[in-house]
Structure 1
Amino acid sequence: MTATPMPRSLQDLAEPEPTAGRTDRSRTPTRRAVLGALGGMAVAAATVATPTTAQAAVTRRIAESFWRPATMGAGTGSGTALGAAGVRIAQPTGRFDYRDPHRNAGTVTYETATWDSPVVTPGFAWTELIASWNAETPPGTWVQILVRGIDALGTATAWLVLGRWAAADVSGGAAITRASLDGQRTAGAAVSTDTLVTGAAAAYRSWQLRVVLLRAAGTTATPVVRLAGAVATAVPASGSTAEATSRFGGTVTTLAVPTYSQEVHSGHYTAWGGGGEAWCSATTTAMILDYWGAGPTPAEKAWVSPATDAQVDVAARMVYDAEYGGTGNWPFNTAYAGTRATAGVPLEGFVTRLADLAAAESYLSAGVPLGVSLSFSADQLTGAGYGTGGHLMVLVGFDGAGNPVVNDPASHLIADNARVRMTYQRGQFERAWAESGRTAYVIRPSTTTAAPPTPSGARVPISPGSRSVPRRRG
């Protein structure tokens, strides 16, 4: 990797005042609205096909790019070294004074190094971007993830923070409190927890990711980053065109993912987002980790009381976002999964978006369950027994008719693991999934190559009424 000059301070990259954490959340927290921050600009589709009915057919476009140790050499490092395990600090090239706004502590000076991804041009004007990363962060170290958008003229936005992250929490020895950073905005773009959202008029054609590796000044420890990247999508404008249900490919399977109800944990450890009744994302992640045999050890669960399905409480602690005030930060969940291993093989976890259930089927046929984010009213998903502005569940298979089989941690709002497994109607499920952008957690052994992502720039038909922001989840 070649070196580039390091800014005098990470303050040069992005350092607005953090907003206060939410305290007025409902049963399932909802994403902070960001459209107002964009001056009322509509979030529009990148392409509109020729109408075949009275209404236009709209498309969502999806492109993801991720780098692992074998491909991170395509990026540019400043003060970093690349090895088989990933990118680490070699010789720091900057310093950063940071006062953690989420704890009662003074300013700490950190030494820094950076890794910048190549500039990615997906072939369409994207309107949402979600970054992911997997990293080891020994005590005294952490990573900061930033992104910038680039328009057709090559003009870039300021660097915007999408996460300040350490694997542990402060009580477990972390250098900082794990947190997103709301309140950031630049010309035509704003950060909503874990998502960079742009207005249609901004027309960002490219993006670039920056990973900042930090360690306490005067120490020799280093974070190691072994996966970094993002998925960019073009989100259509609101409308009323109904979306066609995808065709079932014939994979009849139900993966043996254990069933955990978040309701069993109601009232547990309410400092982490309000307790189990809001832990759909953490419960989803815990189920997938246990499917891979990568959940916490007895020693790692020993602090939990009551101890029933303690891995759910552990997950909530390990994915909690102090700025958002909940456990529903998508990349924080997959980053936690990326700290685990199965039979000595590290897991990798990342957030992506898929075209439809037909695309998800290739993962399931390879034995990879998916965490999926949905949004629906009480009458839009038959059998659920509730409505939600944003909710995570595990897609574990398909029945003979192609209907999705899921582990729904809401369990009909009843505290019973036996009520977690559900089969929903395919069309209803796809529409509810579209309302959250067809977002998916991919958590799998790092040696797995199954189910390649949607090709860069692929056009994916979608309902124009589907908007993933401001939907949010616990």
Structure 2
Amino acid sequence: MNRPTSRRTVLAAAIAAAAGAGAVASTAQAAAPSGTSSSSPAASLVDNRFWTTYSDWRSGAAEGTRAVAGRRAGLVISTPAGSTDYTDPHTGTTRTWEYATWTSPVHRSSVPATEVIASWNAQTPQGTWIQVELGGSYSDGTQTPWYVMGRWAAGDTDIRRTSVDDQTDGRSTIWTDTFSVDDAASGLRLVSYRLRLTLYRTPGTRLTPTVHRLGAMASDVPDRFTVPATAPGVTRELAVPRYSQNVHVGEYPEYDNGGEAWCSPTSSQMIIEYWGRRPTAEDLAWVKPGLADPQVCHAARQTFDYQYEGCGNWPFNAAYASTYRDMSAAVTRLGSLTELEALIGAGIPVITSQSFFKGELTGAGYGTSGHLMTVIGFTAEGDVIANDPASPDNDAVRHVYVRREWENIWLRTKRYDANGAVRGGTGGVCYVYWPALPTARQRLVLRSLGLL
């Protein structure tokens, strides 16, 4: 079971506080061209916008970067725009790096937003790393500062991947991986934004990161303790590997005290292997011999956020999944189990984030202020089949949870804890991982949700 740090607890509270009034509605329904935003009509809660194509990368403002065409387009360093010193706050080491930047066009969200979560897919060879920033316009015409949404590398030898705390302008705040309007009740919203990408490399080399996908999910999820029930629509179970985080309790305590808190990377590893990818023997050489499922230890290390001091940074998990061959990944919100069923029906499992007290989810046997699990299917009755990493061993990971209980726990933004105090909920946050070349059916569903 995940035991998040205080920063994630604060984020959950901020999610509840930031939720404004509005009707519950579905997210993206209508298909949209690749690279554009997608959302349903006026009552929508979510706007997704991702830059992925060659024309997308050519549309931004480049300083030292260039777009690369091909089967999978991307952005790389061409001629560095300059060099800079970076002192890693987690090691104290100062190094000089060459850099180049790309700034997206302004995206006007179809959903004036209380929250924005960025995510990205990139390859960062040793000697390279990237930084993602967000800057936007409020509904009153004023501007945010440029906020750092993450400093990221696939490994941890050049820099320590990190979120950045203490970012606020008194009107909005970055809570680990989420931009949040401080007082949603005031009516203030983020109406448009740009993303700025900085690519770094060791000076004097020809190394470069390659970024294949960059984007964000903007949302304005209403304040809600309950959500409307949906009717069952899909009966299917996907053959997703089963891994228990609890098998790893006490292992590598430097990564958030070991397996007890590894629900997110354990879930990520399940889906990565469902798609036929896994770390190599060389990747796993650092893991102590004899440990079960060493790839779960690897996933924990490769998703660890040294500022948050945990493995539950949502974009870092998606970025980790995308380091595998031809994999795409995004962080988004869904509006109903109907949308999740569409993904399952297309063969795409989903990692969901939820919180609940013991007894709210029949059969779980625990309560949590924040936990990730992998939805792999639906029974004929519509109940949710989930690989829940908070299980004693791998054989016990598969669970069937009551549809109505699970639906409400996942989609609400406010809840009561076991003592009757009001707490926050994630409002349908999930990670979606899929092959860079999806099937026609998968492409149709992903496009309908604004992920392509």
Could you say which TM-score interval applies, normalised by the shorter chain? Answer: 0.7 to 0.9
CA distance in 2, matches of 1:48, 1:431: 16
Give the CA deviation at 1:96: 2.3
For the structure 1 residues 453 and 352, does the alpha-carbon distance in structure 2 shift closer, same or farther, using more than 3 Å as the test? farther
Checking the alignment, whether the CA contact within 8 Å between 2:12 and 2:426 is kept in structure 1 is no
Within a 5 Å distance, the mapping from 1:429-468 to structure 2 comes to: 429-434=406-411, 435-448=425-438, 449-452=443-446
Give the match's secondary structure for 2:273.
helix
* Percent identity over paired residues: 43
CA distance in 2, matches of 1:88, 1:431: 43
CA distance in 2, matches of 1:288, 1:275: 20
CA distance in 2, matches of 1:35, 1:357: 21
Checking the alignment, whether the CA contact within 8 Å between 1:62 and 1:454 is kept in structure 2 is no
The residue aligned with 1:79 is 64
The residue aligned with 2:334 is 354
Within a 5 Å distance, the mapping from 1:97-246 to structure 2 comes to: 97-105=85-93, 107-152=94-139, 154-170=141-157, 175-198=158-181, 199-200=183-184, 201=186, 202-237=188-223, 240=225, 242-246=226-230
Give the CA deviation at 1:400: 0.1
Checking the alignment, whether the CA contact within 8 Å between 2:123 and 2:323 is kept in structure 1 is yes
CA distance in 2, matches of 1:111, 1:389: 41
Cα RMSD for the two superposed structures: 2.3
CA distance in 2, matches of 1:143, 1:254: 37
Q: Does the alignment pair 1:324 with 2:308?
A: yes
The residue aligned with 1:469 is none
**Cα distance per residue 1:378-421 (max 9 Å; x no partner):** 1111100000011011110000011110100001xx2x111100
CA distance in 2, matches of 1:436, 1:44: 10
CA distance in 2, matches of 1:36, 1:69: 36
Letter of the structure 2 residue corresponding to residue 332 of structure 1: F
For the structure 1 residues 116 and 433, does the alpha-carbon distance in structure 2 shift closer, same or farther, using more than 3 Å as the test? same
Checking the alignment, whether the CA contact within 8 Å between 2:350 and 2:374 is kept in structure 1 is yes
The residue aligned with 1:281 is 264
Checking the alignment, whether the CA contact within 8 Å between 2:85 and 2:95 is kept in structure 1 is yes
**Cα distance per residue 1:146-199 (max 9 Å; x no partner):** 0012123543211000100001111xxxx2111111111114110111111113
TM-score (norm 2): 0.85
The residue aligned with 1:56 is none
Within a 5 Å distance, the mapping from 1:256-267 to structure 2 comes to: 256-267=239-250
**Cα distance per residue 1:365-386 (max 9 Å; x no partner):** 1111111111111111110000
Q: Which runs of 5+ in 2 are unaligned?
A: 25-42, 412-424
CA distance in 2, matches of 1:46, 1:179: 33
Which has the larger displacement, 148-157 or 319-328? 148-157
For the structure 1 residues 317 and 400, does the alpha-carbon distance in structure 2 shift closer, same or farther, using more than 3 Å as the test? same
Q: Does the alignment pair 1:390 with 2:395?
A: no
Checking the alignment, whether the CA contact within 8 Å between 2:350 and 2:375 is kept in structure 1 is yes
Q: Does the alignment pair 1:91 with 2:79?
A: yes
CA distance in 2, matches of 1:166, 1:94: 20
For the structure 1 residues 139 and 303, does the alpha-carbon distance in structure 2 shift closer, same or farther, using more than 3 Å as the test? closer
Checking the alignment, whether the CA contact within 8 Å between 1:121 and 1:205 is kept in structure 2 is yes
Checking the alignment, whether the CA contact within 8 Å between 2:48 and 2:216 is kept in structure 1 is yes
Letter of the structure 2 residue corresponding to residue 113 of structure 1: A
TM-score (norm 1): 0.81
For the structure 1 residues 125 and 290, does the alpha-carbon distance in structure 2 shift closer, same or farther, using more than 3 Å as the test? same
Give the CA deviation at 1:214: 1.1
Checking the alignment, whether the CA contact within 8 Å between 2:107 and 2:194 is kept in structure 1 is yes
Which has the larger displacement, 419-428 or 210-219? 210-219
**Cα distance per residue 1:94-121 (max 9 Å; x no partner):** 332210010142x222222111122121
CA distance in 1, matches of 2:44, 2:122: 30
CA distance in 1, matches of 2:221, 2:147: 20
CA distance in 2, matches of 1:357, 1:310: 33
CA distance in 1, matches of 2:13, 2:248: 35
